[in-house]
Structure 1
Amino acid sequence: MSVFKGPKSPFYQYDFQIDGRRFHGSTKAKNKKDADAVERELKAKAKADLEQEKKTGSGPITMRFAAGRYWTEVGEHHKQAKDTFRELERLVGFFGKDKRLDEIKDADVAAFVSWRRKQTVKGRKASKDGTPAPLIAPRTVNAGTILLSAIFLRAERTWRYSLPHKPHWRSHMLKQPQERVRELDQHEGEALDAAVRDDYAPWLEFARLTGLRRNETLIRWQNVNIFAKRITTIGKGNREVSTPITPDVQAILDQCVDENGVRHHPEFVFTFVCKRTRNGQVRGRRYPITSEGAKTQWRRLRERAKVQDFRFHDIRHDVATKLLRATGNLKLVQRALNHSDIKTTTKYAAVYDDDVAAALAAVGNSRNNPRTDAKDVA
């Protein structure tokens, strides 16, 4: 009997074979008549799938298989592989491991987006005073949709599966707020410099001089070419990031060796001094600054300096705006920030436009107050 009721589930189960392939699972039906109807539909679908496989060489693909193959071929090589793995787990958990890609329609994606946008940052709950926990950002919600669309694209183009009714991805993307351009004023910069720990000071100064992203600042000595006067590493999108070693940058590198010229660490440039013995680290010894350690220290630094509404990434904006003001050269700013497309850099043009407007206003004022010629002076 291919439909039966097991001892551990209130639902009838199905178990049948077609051309040597076994199909089994729950019918989600609690009575025999409904279970038989579900089984007939499943058999018909299974036969159609097998016919398609004979004709095209590829049958249906499930979420579990697609996510696993995508992880092996693409995801585990991402710079933020852990984030990709968590997002894949989330997709499989929501849609179900046995959900077929060709069964995922626009309504399913819309349901996923709706579910995600109700979730809070790191699963936080409302505070004791009733303040609601912050919801995850639209960018975070979009990350799942983008990953699912990438799986679909690879399934079609690389794995050669037929997905004729794929969702219209663009319609499911949430609108993201335009990235702001935040600049440090003189007092904020001085407050940060005064509040930073001595061992983290070279790293912070390096970030403020170069405008590199946080992970790009955690350089290794192998990235440093003293003779070519360049620091070259791999940044966002696995693109090469090149930074010139200016005299100020060289002064920072010199702080990362002791009085005998021995590097503080054989591999990593920036290190910190352990404040207490724990987790295998010994008080007083130096260890490499990690990505998580940098996040923690930046948060504490902002609190000590009392600098509000300023993210680490805003250091990058600060460098860009100051460089544009000094040079007026947008192409130069593009190269300094290692932007692959100058369109990304044009968001800083508004800052420069303000300076141009101020200069034009000054010209206007000078026209309204004409110069007095020397011959008119008694």
Structure 2
Amino acid sequence: MALYKRGGVWHYDFAMDGRRYRGTTKETVSSKARMIEAKLMQEAKQRKLTVQRRTLTLAEFSKRFLVWVESTRLEAESKEYYRSGWRMLAKTPISGMRLAHVTTDEAEALRFDHSPANANRALRTLRRMLGKAAEWGVIAAAPRIKLMKEYGRSALIDAEAEFKLLAVAKQPLQDVLTLILDSGMRPGEVFQMRWEDIAWDSGMIFIPRGKTKLSRRYIPMSERVTKALHIRRKGMTEGWVFPSDSVTGHVTTVAKAFEEARAAAGLSKEIVLYSARHTFATKVMGATGNLSLVMRALGHTNAQTAMIYQHPSLETVRTVVNENHGPMLSRHNSRHTAVM
């Protein structure tokens, strides 16, 4: 809040609810200028209250937001991310709040089950919803939504866990999981596979689009992937590999099926579908030591991102330490024998 003089006339300049108000009072006397400024501020407050009374609840606004999500050029995986995020928000008290009443503190008070990454799915959705509400003029400004700190996924699907999962997984989860384990493809890339993009002669899967510029790539098929796709193919030469009755025409998630399979297999909740992609990257890096090759397979543009997906075995550390201790241990044993 400030008054300043320019050309002998007093001007006002103040901000309210993220909006700036400034102009001339047309007064040369400061006391009269302050009265005009106070009146303008009161009018601004009244407009704010009127807007707050008119704004929709988060649940009411979600209908418009989800229609927008479906109409955008977002990848199917991103669309499902926001749909899933809203389903989480819909179960909280904040869904019944008016948009103008949602604050940073209200968002920080939200609690969600499972990992920080899971909570951030809801928080990112809330942030995007409020951002669109401000962009569309439904609220004056969007509050800052803080995300939880993520420490990354460390769980891998070892041979035993893989056997247990595939033994209880129903279709299409069984084929989806096999594809990710053997190709490192993103779940969204698997869901959007088309028969036209499979080169049977060369044993390659072509991914025409994705999250990064290197997502457009060829992926080699393992023997069990080839076998699984041949069984699923049933003479098809075009169309979705994983068709469904959804709006997109293809499967967009197997989250529920994975949770059921994980529970039936008696595995930790730390293991998620994306763990299969991490497992693939770790195995390929361990076998080849070729980071560039791993980046190409994953469709990554930088090494730092690719390294997140790799969880080298600590057995390597044990081996190095033991090898270095070998000569020293031999000398120690010799001296020990001599003393005896």
User: Does 2:104 align with 1:109?
Assistant: yes
Judging changes above 3 Å, is the alpha-carbon distance between structure 1 residues 46 and 225 closer, same or farther for their aligned structure 2 residues?
farther
Q: CA deviation at 1:363?
A: 2.5
Q: What is the CA–CA distance in structure 2 between the aligned matches of 1:140 and 1:74, rounded to whole Å? A: 15
TM-score, with length taken from structure 2? 0.59
AA aligned to 1:113 is E
8 Å CA contact retained: 1:211, 1:337: yes
Determine the structure 1 residue equivalent to 2:164: 191
Give the aligned partner of residue 267 of structure 2.
307
Alignment counterpart, residue 269 of structure 1, candidates 223, 241, 246: 241
Which structure 2 residue ranges, 5 or more long, are not aligned?
1-38, 49-53, 332-340
- SS of structure 1 residue aligned to 2:207: strand
Q: Distance in 2 between matches of 1:194 and 1:47?
A: 64
Residues 77-105 of structure 1: per-residue CA shift (max 9 Å, x gap): 13344664785997895344xx4xxxx8x
1:281-335, Cα deviation, whole Å (9 max, x unpaired): xxxxxxx97335x334323333343333322121112112111211223332222
Question: Does the aligned pair in 2 maintain the 1:94–1:112 contact within 8 Å?
Answer: no
Give 2:294's match in structure 1, choosing from 333, 350, 357.
Answer: 333
Match of residue 33 from structure 2 = none
1:365/1:255 CA distance change after superposition, 3 Å: farther
Once the 2 structures are TM-superposed, how far is the Cα of residue 180 of structure 1 from its aligned partner? 1.9
Distance 2:210 2:178 in 1: 19
Tell me the distance in 2 between the aligned counterparts of 1:92 and 1:299: 25
Change (3 A) 1:95 1:200: closer
Query: How many angstroms apart in 1 are the aligned matches of 2:120 and 2:297?
Result: 26
Query: 3-state DSSP class of the match of 2:155?
Result: coil
Equivalent in the alignment of 2:153: 180
Residues 192 and 301 in structure 1, CA contact (< 8 A), matched pair in contact too: yes
Q: 1:224 aligns with which of 198, 205, 208?
A: 198
Paired residues of 2:199 and 2:205 also in contact (CA < 8 A): yes
Distance 1:298 1:94, change over 3 A: same
Residue in 2 that maps onto 1:284: none
Corresponding residue to 1:212 among 185, 192, 198: 185
Deviation of the 1:210 alpha carbon: 1.3
Q: Distance in 1 between matches of 2:161 and 2:302?
A: 31
Of residues 252, 277, 284 in structure 1, which corresponds to 2:228?
A: 252
How far is the alpha carbon of 1:183 from its aligned partner?
1.7
SS at match of 1:256: helix
Letter in 1 for 2:105: A
Structure 1 CA distance, aligned partners of 2:213 and 2:98? 30
Distance in 1 between residues matched to 2:171 and 2:96, nearest whole Å: 45
Residue identity matched to 2:231: Q
Moved more, 182-191 or 73-82: 73-82
Whole-angstrom distance in 1 between the partners of 2:142 and 2:167: 55
Matched-pair contact (CA < 8 Å) for 1:323–1:333: yes
Secondary structure of residue in 2 paired with 1:244: strand
User: Root-mean-square deviation (CA), in Å?
Assistant: 5.0
Match of 2:11 in 1: none
Does structure 1 retain, via aligned residues, the 8 Å contact 2:183–2:280?
A: yes
Cα separation, partners in 2 of 1:327 and 1:150, compared to 1, 3 Å: farther
Q: Is the 8 A contact 2:205 2:218 kept in 1?
A: yes
Q: Is contact 1:63–1:92 with CA below 8 Å preserved after alignment?
A: no
Measure, in 2, the Cα distance between the counterparts of 1:74 and 1:290.
17
- Which whole-Å CA distance do the structure 1 matches of 2:323 and 2:115 have between them? 48
Matched-pair contact (CA < 8 Å) for 1:220–1:268: yes
| Aligned counterpart in structure 2 of residue 324 of structure 1, from 273, 281, 285 | 285
Partner of 2:4: none
Alpha-carbon separation, structure 2, partners of 1:322 and 1:134: 25
TM superposition score normalised by structure 1: 0.54
1:44 aligns with 2:43: yes
Counterpart check, 1:146 vs 2:146: no
Query: Which amino acid in 2 is paired with 1:232?
Result: I
Measured after TM superposition, the shift of residue 204 of structure 1 is 3.2
How has the CA–CA distance of structure 1 residues 355 and 337 changed in structure 2, closer, same or farther, with 3 Å as cutoff?
A: farther
1 or 2 for the larger relative contact order (CA 8 Å, sep ≥6)? 2
How many residues get paired?
272
Q: Decide whether aligned partners of structure 1 residues 135 and 210 sit closer, same or farther in structure 2, where only a CA change above 3 A counts.
A: closer
Alignment partners' CA distance in 1, 2:273 and 2:265: 14
Alignment-mate amino acid for residue 326 of structure 1? A
